[in-house]
Structure 1
Amino acid sequence: MKGYAQFYDDYLVQKKTPGEIIKAKPGLASLWYDEPDHQYGRPASFYFQLEDLELLSAWSKVDVPVLTIHGEYDWIMSDEDHKIIANIANKHRPGMGTFVELKKTNHLLYTYDTPEEAFKGAPSGYYNPAATSAVLDFLRNQQ
């Protein structure tokens, strides 16, 4: 994990592309799985801009009910990230924010038997229908 922390600090905080990082620190090359200047089909500059946004401030201005769904095996966003968003909504108006955690579920709302399978995105994963149920329950409660 130390290598990942170093890589993503260079990438998102220092605003170096993955290709630049690997060129400067070849020992981190095995951690990268995508293109030198892209991730998940988006240019590195997208992630630089996303990192610069004041997202907590933006969430504090939302004046509608908010549902945050976190998968237990989500390695991209923590449950705390989702709870913070729900808490911001509730601070604005109590009952406005709802947090739901889905067991054995990753960031893409796919279910896996282990966190390792979820991290790898193993083909054994399948969409967790509890995500749909959570959204529908949330929407029904807004009436």
Structure 2
Amino acid sequence: MSASVSMPLGGVQVGSFDSYEQAQAAVDYLADQKFPVENVTIIGSDLRQVERVTGRLTWGRVLAAGAAGGAWWGLFVGLLLGIFAVDGSAWIGSLLTGLLIGLLFGMLFAAIGYSASRGRRDFTSTSTVVAGRYDVMCNPARAEEARAHLARFSLRG
């Protein structure tokens, strides 16, 4: 069945919730009631991006993060090269060489990237997209049954 112009994407609204966890719990309740949840869609509306500043970005933090990332890549390359080592000391040598080169290149590339920003973003942050409302939508043929189940769900909690 394809959506028509008059029917919104996902069907008709059978519930609206303030958080995704509440909408997810409602759909889980429908599944527990043996409702065919393949007829249900959760749609987030009123989207906004939330960026939480986690700290100040300094040269020390930039170089440390670059060194850590480069060290992991160097360790990986060293392990791959260690496969071709003829004895144990050559294996350890390739591992340590890869680790050291990766550490140095990681610091170098992090320093280049940070200096190219010229201080326009001297902080670290994490970003998420959140919705102001989460609507549970359902195929119109099953909407009344879903509403009845969700009415019992809302009385539970």
Whether these two folds match at TM > 0.5 is no
Instruction: Compute the TM-score of the two structures, normalised by the length of structure 2.
Output: 0.21
Greater per-residue strand proportion? 2
Report the TM-score, using the length of structure 1 for normalisation: 0.22
Which of structures 1 and 2 has the bigger CA Rg? 2
Q: Would you tell me which structure has more helix in proportion to its own residues?
A: 2
